[in-house]
Structure 1
């Protein structure tokens, strides 16, 4: 098991059929910055961020500097062309409580192709089998059916709908919360 997010970020790439998850390096900053600057995508993916150019820059700097110890960020690369197409994370990772919150965003050019679903499957396997997570939580805006589908396709189930104090203009003001326990993960992936 890993004790620090920096310890495993140097480990090998996490492989899937079409995507791989790996460490984001400073040389990936320009491409990741382009993904993070797509405000439509950010509005769908991030509830508490400043939805502006400056908010995107701040997020990019935090990811590249790895300054947040309880955040585990992986880039999502499309294997056949070795291109960075998104970001997937464990946020608010607690070793003490063995839980984390999911975060993911994909360049809009790659939406609706099952790539986020595959990336999340890889991340969940890593979380439950390597990090020793007991519970994972995911959230999406109530009207974001594609993001909800990514989670439910990976075994997460709806828990509740909560209001949000934040949100971009034109985005729903409620958030659906989903969860997956380690026990449920084992049942879903034993099939």
Structure 2
């Protein structure tokens, strides 16, 4: 069975009705900075708000290094209507032996409450279960991040419990809510037919 990393060389470009999921490039610097510098966007992330364009460039340097090293890197979320990057989504960790991975994502606040991230996550779940042959996909969020919890629930993920003092972030130990979806759940909800939209 192929490793998850093997499916990212070349990097897979995915599509939904409203967005294209593709590699981030240096030409996206201003787009990425436009939401990473917004305190409301980083409020519920484990990373701090970007204070300058240099912070965003350092992030893109990290991303480009992952691409060039044939490692799993994030998808930039390109909004078809404007052809601008409005967020990102990635497998932030994975386990080849146990066929599972964890998703992480962020979206510009200008595009909140429009169903875009739900659309994105459904497409990546499809890729994960059907292409990567994963058995389980997880996602976690801070307890107060109600928007992210709703996205997970709308994509068929089930709440599994509160992981207490799981990580050190924002100068404190943070609890995280754990959600997951397994392949059987996904196939039950979306079937085994052609790609979902």
Q: RMSD value over aligned CA atoms?
A: 2.6
- The answer to whether the 8 A contact 2:37-2:49 is kept is no
Count of residues in correspondence between the two structures: 186
Secondary structure of the 2:24 match is coil
Q: 1: distance between equivalents of 2:159 and 2:124?
A: 19
Alignment of 1:96-175 (within 5 A): 96-164=97-165, 165-168=167-170, 173-175=174-176
Residues 72-101 of structure 1: CA deviation (Å, up to 9, x unaligned):
310111112211100011111233321111
State the shift of 1:123 in Å: 0.9
CA contact (8 A) 1:5 1:70 kept: no
> Where does structure 2 lack aligned partners over 5 or more consecutive residues?
193-197
In the alignment, what sits opposite 2:80?
79
Match of 2:6 among 4, 7, 20: 4
Q: Is the 8 A contact 1:70 1:91 kept in 2?
A: no
For 2:70 and 2:102, the matched residues in 1 are separated by: 14
C-alpha separation in 1, matches of 2:83 and 2:56: 24
State the partner residue of 1:35. 35
1: distance between equivalents of 2:185 and 2:71?
A: 24
1:183 maps to which residue? 184
Give the secondary structure class of the aligned counterpart of 1:161.
strand
Runs of 4+ off more than 6 Å: none
Equivalent residue number for residue 20 of structure 2: 20
TM-score (norm 2): 0.81
